[in-house]
Chain A
């Protein structure tokens, strides 16, 4: 790709390239460090359970029962998992390209809004409204994320802060609408839309949103491994300089990734209101968009990893909620374990960072590499 000495080597943007490498290490970390992180987190939470005056074995068994113990509980787990899968995929491809989007929460809310607007106001047969609602959810999420990309490309605004700020704007926007123009008989929520819902599959509470998220897993896998955009995302994620040398239009890739990633997060929101809640609440999400960042990282930023990590985190949350009723330890245990898993995972990553470190030690001035060429 490079034509040798004639091309001046631009100074690398040190921090953003480090960020890329640190995150590449996340996807390179082996299965062992992930399993270890989960085990360590569960062990570390034991004293907390003891402090609550409960038997850890009973509590963990109650969590297991409450997540995988019955068809109904497992259906709840998968219904939560699909939210995490769609969010995790959206976050994963963003991070893969070096676009550190923490705006999944806002995109999730916007997607829920888009779906609710369609479900409430679109005339027509319910299957048509359902599809339209999913599409508008995707579009709203994509636009919200596209705004972050636009701010980055046009004004150089770091996506970390702008996407965080837009999360709050999104939540407040839905707060305004559900207490104002879209208010139903009760403040803080819209009218319900029971007739526009994702159909249940296997005849129980599991809804078609899970199938939708599986389709998304396959699509993202194909996108990353089989398309030109996937190649561009991977190259850009390895190094912005490498991408430029490879003739990749960096801003174009960032914008397309933002739209697809934000769209998936929006779809997650649409999916949650159309599949489970059937109404748009001012307290729609307890922060799933942030938890999903942990899902994406633990899943190694790959589609299959995200799928597995999403089911794990969904099982932790649903299991903890059910455990609260049977074993009496607060459901916050789920959130505690999630945080511990991520912290322990981050602990273990630097051990696998030696390759990256060796690369850094070669120092600046070493020629940029195209992904797949050398390092």
Chain B
């Protein structure tokens, strides 16, 4: 094994891990807040997809990757708003709603993509390259040996993803964070103290959608310069697991996302080191790890008291 652990291998593996964790962090960190407020976003996979497509479309028409990231966030937030309306205002079952939103997203993105980029043949959409993000080496930091190559030579969206973690910690510790927890634990108490459960749940869900939209933007115009319908590839569902395994805490989410990303990156890098493990078996790791984690190896995860439960104002 010793010849496997060369510098190039380790640096490459960890840099890929850093990148791969970014969309998971973006999707899971908002989800952690949503779940703390009592709402699960099973449609996260759909938010990522509409976000990724929205970003691609935005960058295609506006010619700028940053504006594309913006439209991606709007698309993700709009998808989440629709899901939020059904779950929060119409009080439908959250899990079923999430699945419905996901199926709807696949259909809506699929048809829009094929219509807009069909070039006369709806069966074979044309791949168009758009303005995408480039790596931006952080001045100074990127010249630190090893660490510079691993962490400070990434596309800007990756830095943004990691920046959300301390911001989320601050938010969680603030008065607003307390309100989010109260929404999940005792919505009635929050209401009688003058807060609005519906408002906070909407804010959490829409923010989850916007952040996931940014994560989707990374998948389309961050790591590539184009779009295909399978770009999300289950990351939304993994992010659900990340939020839960990470105990719905930003730091937990960060650690869980990195573990997942490491498993994802290993299947890219192990073959380069001559280790012949079937790709699919390595890809199973994150899913198996999630199940083991949920089985209470690292302690049971406790759900908020009002988890999955719609709130209705007392008349």
Interface, chain A (partner B; CB < 8 A): 14-16, 18-19, 22-23, 26, 48, 51-52, 100, 102, 151, 155-158, 160-162, 164-166, 168-169, 172-173, 175-176, 179-180, 287, 290-291, 293-294, 297, 324, 328-330, 332-340, 342-343, 346-347, 349-350, 353, 357, 360
Q: Is the CB of A172 within 8 A of B111?
A: no
- With the chains together, A158 CA to B301 CA distance in Å? 10
Residues of A within 8 A of B106 (CB): 287, 332, 335, 339
- Selected from A168, A342, A346, the residue in CB contact (under 8 A) with B237 is A168
Asked whether, in the complex, the Cβ of B240 is within 8 Å of the Cβ of A164, the reply is yes
Given contacts A26-B93, A51-B115, contact A15 B309 (CB under 8 A): yes
The 3 closest A-B pairs by CB, nearest first: A339-B104, A336-B107, A332-B110
Asked if B268 lies at the interface with its beta carbon under 8 angstroms from chain A, I say: no
Known contacts being A290-B103, A350-B91, A353-B91, is A169 close to B111, with CB within 8 Å? no
Determine which of A23, A294, A333, A339 lies in contact with B93 in the assembled complex, contact meaning CB atoms within 8 Å.
A23
B291 sits at the interface (CB 8 A): yes
Which of A15, A156, A287 has most B Cβ within 10 Å?
A15
Which chain B positions have C-beta within 8 A of A336?
A: 104, 107-108, 110-111
CB atoms of B295 and A294 under 8 A apart: no
23 contacts across the A-B interface (CB closer than 8 A): A14-B305, A15-B303, A15-B306, A15-B307, A15-B309, A16-B308, A18-B308, A18-B310, A48-B112, A155-B294, A161-B291, A168-B284, A287-B106, A291-B103, A329-B122, A335-B103, A338-B103, A339-B103, A340-B107, A342-B96, A343-B100, A349-B90, A357-B312
Chain B residue with minimal CB distance to A327?
B122
**Complex CA distance for A360 and B306, rounded to whole angstroms:** 14
- Whether B196 is near chain A, meaning CB under 8 Å from some CB there, is no
A332 in contact with B93 given A166-B291, A168-B237, A339-B101 (CB within 8 Å): no
Cβ distance A188 to chain B, nearest Cβ, rounded Å? 11
Given contacts A173-B280, A179-B280, 7 further A-B contacts (CB under 8 A): A22-B93, A157-B296, A162-B294, A168-B237, A329-B111, A337-B107, A340-B107
Which residues on the B side are within 8 Å of A172 (C-beta)?
A: 280-281, 283-284, 287
A343 to B296, CA, bound (A): 34
How many Å lie between the Cα of A156 and that of B105 in the bound state? 32
Which residues does chain B contribute within 8 Å of A52, judged by CB atoms?
111, 115, 122
Given contacts A176-B280, A339-B101, contact A330 B291 (CB under 8 A): no
Q: What distance in Å separates the Cβ of A153 from its nearest Cβ neighbour in chain B? A: 12
- A19 contact set on B, CB distance < 8 A: 93, 95, 308
Q: Does B193 contact A (CB under 8 A)?
A: no
Name the distance in Å between B97's Cβ and chain A's nearest Cβ: 6
Partner of B295, one of A157, A173, A330: A157
Does B176 have its Cβ within 8 Å of any Cβ on chain A? no
B41 to chain A, nearest CB (A): 12
Number of A-B contacts (CB under 8 A): 176
B244 at the interface (CB under 8 A from A): yes
Asked if A333 contacts B111 (CB within 8 A), the reply is yes
Q: B308 contacts A332, CB within 8 Å?
A: no
- Name the residue on A nearest B115 (C-beta): A52
Residue of B nearest to A157 (CB): B294
- From B100, B112, B283, B312, contact of A346 by CB (8 A): B100
Q: Counting CB contacts under 8 A, is B223 at the interface?
A: no
B115–A176 CB distance below 8 A: no
- B142: interface (CB < 8 Å): no
Q: A324 — which chain B residues lie within 8 A by C-beta?
A: 122-123
How far apart are A276's CB and chain B's nearest CB, in angstroms? 21
Chain A residue numbers with a CB within 8 Å of B91 are 22, 350, 353
Interface centre among B96, B106, B112, B114, by most chain A C-beta atoms within 10 angstroms, is B96
Cross-interface CB contact of A169 among B97, B108, B284, cutoff 8 Å: B284
